[in-house]
């Protein structure tokens, strides 16, 4: 280990580290956001670009974040600075970590609001509100929740509060125990939902929708949305994985962990697709209804299946826990930086969470009081976007890709090649050559080209 790093905690095993990275990756991004963005963007073409982005952009970056984190041994800010110094570069590389900390704060502000929806749906499902209900009645429950700022604010506060308590007590021990049990259960319940949807509803229509790309649908907006979602879903681009890898022991194979994390997250995204879209097509629901999709479609299954109230409750509890595991990683990015700057964890975690909760009110009101507030109404392509829409766009489609470019440049050009190879346990050879090719050229260029395409007139910016 490099000598200047103070004693730190470590994951107790390789599996614990793997489950924690899967816990960070799998969350609302895969189960809520992936299906609704696929629906909004017309299906197969979006899915294809998403998968391409995962392979070409996200996989190399995840490996890079792991290498920087374990080498640096600090928060995202500290790790960048430490590794830069070791490589003979300026410690102000730490600013790349600051960008991540700011982005994670903004993401958590809206993530927690949606985390609150999952909490609100637990008592709703458990009390049998969906059992035997008709489709319009089911959709009405989310509509009513979104129209009620008070209830949304409370559940958002509850979600943020639980996140803060866990981060306050220290991530490793609490998180480790929780994810080891709950992540496997999450896969199991998704499997139940997929089987139900395939048996009772139109699985072929869902497969056609997901896997038949209509290339005429690939515009700059679709591409950048897909890339943004790939960053978001795998938790790449703002240092979450740097932060977690800092706690990884020497015996852990980082590139293997990266591969498994990505495979697990992508698998669960597709499970979510196959739990939701068959019902959408069988019941003639709207694929492009945006953020409401999962919350209005899955309860249709819970209303009809045997033991639906039980299965539904279990699903929302597990979804809450998955979202919580992701939210913890988001808050930890920010808090580990504060702790490193000398603020005690017991103070840093609750105050960051409180501030973030307050920022989240902008998202809460986007669905009711301020649904007509469109701050960038004068800007072409951003008309009609609520505060939530803009936050989501700014973080996923701008800040995460920019963070990605910084990670790529750092790992490809600044960090010593020998240090990279040592962290990844690679010798010079085909794998190392391919990874360096990706991280030095392909990944950053792909991101830059897409951003340029998006913001030139021919890219029909916004929307
Ligand atoms: N990946 C998580 C999800 O899909 C969200 C998340 C957690 C995240 N940590 C992150 C997104 C860091 C970007 C960066 O729900």
pLDDT score of 455: 82
Residue 396, ligand 1, Cβ within 6 A: no
* Spatial CA neighbour of 77 closest among 240, 300, 210, 285: 240
What's the rounded mean pLDDT across residues 403-425?
97
* Spatial CA neighbour of 295 closest among 119, 38, 108: 119
Q: What is the DSSP string of 100-150?
A: HHHHHHHHHHHHHHHHHHHHHHHHHHHTTSSTT--HHHHHHHHHHHHT-HH
Candidates 20, 21, 29: which one to mutate for ligand 1, based on the most atoms within 8 Å of Cβ?
29
Kindly give, in sequence order, each residue whose CB lies less than 8 Å from that of residue 209, ignoring residues fewer than 6 positions away: 38, 43, 44, 277, 281, 287
Residues of the chain with pLDDT > 70, as a percent, come to 97
pLDDT score of 460: 52
Going from the Cα of 113 to the center of ligand 1, the distance in angstroms, rounded, reads 14
Record the pTM. 0.94
d(CA 339, CA 78): 11
Is 90 exceeded by the pLDDT of residue 1?
no
Residue 349 vs residue 173, higher pLDDT: 349
Q: Would you say the C-alpha torsion 15, 20, 21, 25 has a positive or negative sign?
A: positive
Q: Would you say the C-alpha torsion 57, 58, 63, 68 has a positive or negative sign?
A: positive
| 102-133 pLDDT, tens digit each | 999 999 999 999 999 999 999 999 999 999 99
Is 70 exceeded by the pLDDT of residue 292?
yes
pLDDT score of 171: 72
d(CA 104, CA 101): 5
Residue 367, ligand 1, Cβ within 6 A: no
Own/partner contacts of 48-55, CB < 8 Å, gap of 24 or more, are 48/213, 49/218, 49/222, 49/223, 49/226, 49/227, 50/226, 50/229, 50/230, 51/266, 53/226, 53/227, 53/230, 54/230, 54/234, 54/262, 54/266
Residue 165 host element (H or E): helix 149-169
In ligand 1, which atom is closest to the CA atom of 333?
Answer: 12
| 336-367 pLDDT, tens digit each | 899 999 999 999 999 999 999 999 999 999 99
| 199-239 pLDDT, tens digit each | 999 999 999 999 999 999 899 889 999 999 999 999 999 99
Going from the Cα of 234 to the center of ligand 1, the distance in angstroms, rounded, reads 6
What's the rounded mean pLDDT across residues 7-28?
87
* Spatial CA neighbour of 263 closest among 274, 275, 255: 255
Do 400 and 232 meet the contact criterion of CB atoms below 8 Å apart? Answer: yes
pLDDT score of 8: 66
Going from the Cα of 259 to the center of ligand 1, the distance in angstroms, rounded, reads 17
pLDDT score of 459: 57
Is 90 exceeded by the pLDDT of residue 48?
yes
What's the rounded mean pLDDT across residues 23-40?
96
Is 90 exceeded by the pLDDT of residue 169?
no
Candidates 21, 25, 323, 337: which one to mutate for ligand 1, based on the most atoms within 8 Å of Cβ?
25
Is 80 exceeded by the pLDDT of residue 463?
no
d(CA 383, CA 388): 13
């Amino acid at each position: 280990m490099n000598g200047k790093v103070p004693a730190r905690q470590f994951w107790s095993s390789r599996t614990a580290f793997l489950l924690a990275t899967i816990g960070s990756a799998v969350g609302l991004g895969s189960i809520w956001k992936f299906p609704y963005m696929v629906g909004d963007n017309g299906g197969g073409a979006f899915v294809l670009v998403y998968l391409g982005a995962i392979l070409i952009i996200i996989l190399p970056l995840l490996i890079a974040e792991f290498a920087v984190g374990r080498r640096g041994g600090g928060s995202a800010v500290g790790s960048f600075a430490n590794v830069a110094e070791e490589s003979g570069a300026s410690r102000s590389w730490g600013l790349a970590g600051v960008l991540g900390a700011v982005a994670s704060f903004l993401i958590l502000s809206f993530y927690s609001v949606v985390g609150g929806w999952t909490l609100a749906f637990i008592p709703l499902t458990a009390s049998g509100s969906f059992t035997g209900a008709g489709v319009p009645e089911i959709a009405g429950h989310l509509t009513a929740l979104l129209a009620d700022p008070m209830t949304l604010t409370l559940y958002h506060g509850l979600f943020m509060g639980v996140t803060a308590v866990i981060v306050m007590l220290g991530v490793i021990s609490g998180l480790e125990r929780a994810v080891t049990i709950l992540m496997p259960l999450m896969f199991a319940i998704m499997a139940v939902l997929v089987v139900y949807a395939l048996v009772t509803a139109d699985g072929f229509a869902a497969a056609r929708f997901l896997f038949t790309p209509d290339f005429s649908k690939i515009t700059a907006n679709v591409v950048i949305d897909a890339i943004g979602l790939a960053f978001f879903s795998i938790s790449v681009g703002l240092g979450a994985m740097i932060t977690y890898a800092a706690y990884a022991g020497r015996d852990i194979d980082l590139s293997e962990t990266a591969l498994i994390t990505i495979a697990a997250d992508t698998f669960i995204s597709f499970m979510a697709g196959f739990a939701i879209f068959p019902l959408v097509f069988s019941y003639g629901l709207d694929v492009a209804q945006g953020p409401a999709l999962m919350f209005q479609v899955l309860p249709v299954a819970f209303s009809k299946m045997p033991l639906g109230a039980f299965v539904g409750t279990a699903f929302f509890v597990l979804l809450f826990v998955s979202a919580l595991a992701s939210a913890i990683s988001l808050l930890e990015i920010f808090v580990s930086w504060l702790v490193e700057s000398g603020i005690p964890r017991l103070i840093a975690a609750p105050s960051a969470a409180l501030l973030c909760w307050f920022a989240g009110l902008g998202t809460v009101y986007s669905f009711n009081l301020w649904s007509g507030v469109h701050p960038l109404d004068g800007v072409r392509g951003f008309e009609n976007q609520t505060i939530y829409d803009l936050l989501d766009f700014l973080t996923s489609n701008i800040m995460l890709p920019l963070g990605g470019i910084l990670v790529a440049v750092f790992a490809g050009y600044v960090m010593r090649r020998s240090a990279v190879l040592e962290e990844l346990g690679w010798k010079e050879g085909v794998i190392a050559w391919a990874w360096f090719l990706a991280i030095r050229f392909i990944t950053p260029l792909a991101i830059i080209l897409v951003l340029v395409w998006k913001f030139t007139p021919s890219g029909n910016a916004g929307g």
